[in-house]
Structure 1
Amino acid sequence: MPEPDEMRAAEGHAIAARLREELARRRISRQALADMARISLSTLEKALSGSRQFTLATVIRLEEALGTRLRDGAAAPETAPAPDTAPEHMGAYSRAAVHWIEADYLTLRASFGEPGAIYAYVTRIFWDDAAGHLRFTEAERIDGAFAQKGHVSMPNLSGHTYLATCEAGQHRLITLGRPTRDGCMFGLLATLHAGTGSQLIPIASPVAFVPRGQTKESGTGLVRPGDPAFAAFRTILDRAINDDFCRFRQ
């Protein structure tokens, strides 16, 4: 007869297998599931890898978040409604309160590789039903391998919007001020730029988010002085500094 510890380990492996299946079927990330269940990502990762046993409290939270049974013989919880309030660390905003920001935005920033040029691409901000908070993805980038995606924080205290990417501990952050009357948002992007060889250099640039289709010039890619869209894009991007949405100091 198996020992109690072996039985617990076997049950843990079965729960982990069911969780991985649910993550794949629903196409949600481990971070999203951790947020939904109000547990740390570290706790979830260790339990899924088998380096830590699932506690009963953790399993119950996961079952309630997913609305499905993970334990053999456990009564299936009632299907929980999709969360409509973001986690506290993202600002605890409700879906109704941030509906206005959901859109595709023409995104403008300085080119990191070609002085004087502007880099244009598209950022989509949307509500993730499964995770219960806003997310963003980038598209139409000429360097598509470096397209970012992540979560959106909107705390009431600062009144700013934060688009954060965190992959394997590496962060990129866009800080945007309150929208203008025409729905544009301006602020600062801070990230890493590939330097000589494998060197990565911290770099920052003013950034502009313009609702897609609002400007006559809406092309994407590297826009150089003399290109048809350059003058319009330069005027828009300069508002980040000229209208005091961000500042540089040395």
Structure 2
Amino acid sequence: MNDADAQMIARRVREELARRRLSRQALADMARVSISTLEKALSGRRAFTLATVIRLEQALGVPLQKIPAASPADPLVASPDNLGAYSQNAVRWLEGRYLTLRPSFGTPGDIFAYVTIIQWDAEQGCLVFSEAERLDSSFSQSGKVSLPHLSGHIYLVTNVEGQYRLAVLGRPTIQGALYGILTTLMVGHGSQLIPAAAPFVMLRLKAETEIAFGRIEANHPDYVRYRAELDLVTSDGFAHFPK
């Protein structure tokens, strides 16, 4: 990596830190690099390694390296502008399977638990998501993932003939958990659909972990743990529901 590229990367990182009001120590923790390595690279006293740059890209969710122009025959290497213009390499950290939690709209107190899968779609040139293990499988959603640089949030967008469903999630915690809000439609009186919003949580799944899916009632062994995760949405300031 030449000096010009290193200076460009350092400038981009400093801009992201200032825009997000993020400390260098916090970024170092998110990227799993030492604070000493980060400080020296940003000051020009040590060259950026490729591994460090990739980790910083994953932590910030933005490309830091120059993206080569793709020929018409090549697969898309960056998402459309209206999804945030993110590169595939910069969002690999978000791919995976997640335990997804939200309150039940039909039965107060109950929790719905299912799987959300996020992966790169080469044909569409962006991250896409789909749902599985839903108790109401006919209502399973799929769509595209937007990661705009300005807000620093993650958006799961479903658009079916102009009808939208939207989840807005903050950046992942150290454990890879995502917390935010789901806005959708629920059945009201009769067959009438009405807008609804609720806390929304996505926890990265590990292959060896046994997980309970479906409707989780108050007497279920996992209820207390799932409820505590949903409560973090507001108690830890990931989202706000005005009264």
Counterpart of 1:162? 155
Q: Which residue among 143, 148, 159 is the counterpart of 1:150? A: 143
Counterpart of 2:130? 137
Residue 90 (1) aligns with residue 83 (2): yes
How do 1:88-237 residues align onto structure 2 when only pairs under 5 Å count?
Answer: 88-213=81-206, 218-237=211-230
Letter of the 2:103 partner, please give it. Answer: A
Deviation at residue 226 of structure 1 after TM alignment = 1.3
- Quote the Cα distance in structure 1 between the aligned partners of 2:208 and 2:198: 21
Letter of the 1:208 partner, please give it. Answer: V
Evaluate the alpha carbon distance shift between residue 175 and residue 168 of structure 1 in structure 2; reply closer, same or farther with a 3 A threshold. same
Return structure 1 stretches of 4+ with deviation > 2 angstroms: 213-217
How does the TM-score come out when normalised to structure 1? 0.67
- Quote the Cα distance in structure 2 between the aligned partners of 1:240 and 1:81: 41
Aligned residues: 173
Structure 2: segments with no counterpart, 5+ residues: 1-70
Percent sequence identity is 47
Evaluate the alpha carbon distance shift between residue 232 and residue 215 of structure 1 in structure 2; reply closer, same or farther with a 3 A threshold. farther
Deviation at residue 198 of structure 1 after TM alignment = 1.4
- Quote the Cα distance in structure 2 between the aligned partners of 1:214 and 1:188: 26
User: What's the Cα RMSD here?
Assistant: 1.5
How does the TM-score come out when normalised to structure 2? 0.69
- Quote the Cα distance in structure 2 between the aligned partners of 1:209 and 1:92: 23
Structure 1: segments with no counterpart, 5+ residues: 1-77
**Over alpha carbons, which structure has the higher Rg?**
1
Evaluate the alpha carbon distance shift between residue 160 and residue 214 of structure 1 in structure 2; reply closer, same or farther with a 3 A threshold. farther
Letter of the 1:81 partner, please give it. Answer: D
Secondary structure of 1:233's counterpart equals helix
- Quote the Cα distance in structure 2 between the aligned partners of 1:215 and 1:224: 24
Secondary structure of 1:98's counterpart equals helix
